[in-house]
Amino acid sequence: MAERLDVLERSLHYSFNDKALLTRALTHKSANFQHNERLEFLGDSILNCVIADLLFSQFESATEGELTRARASLVNQNTLSQVAQEMSLGDYLRLGIGEQKSGGFRRDSILADALEAIVGAIYLDKGFLQAYETIQQWYEGRLAILKPDEQAKDPKTQLQEWLQANQKPLPRYSVVSVVGEPHAQEFTVVCEIAELSLLVEGQGTSRRIAEQQAARKILEKINAR
**Binding-site sequence positions:** 40, 113, 116
Question: Where is the binding site for Mg(2+), in residues?
Answer: 40, 113, 116
Catalytic residues: 44, 116
C-alpha 112: how far from its chain's center? 6
* Nearest partner of 74 among 116, 42, 103, 102, judged by Cα: 116
**33 by DSSP, 3-state: which?**
coil
CA dihedral sign, ordered 60, 42, 101, 209: negative
Inter-residue contact 131 to 122 (CB < 8 Å): yes
**130 by DSSP, 3-state: which?**
helix
Side-chain-facing half-sphere of 146: CA atoms under 13 Å? 25
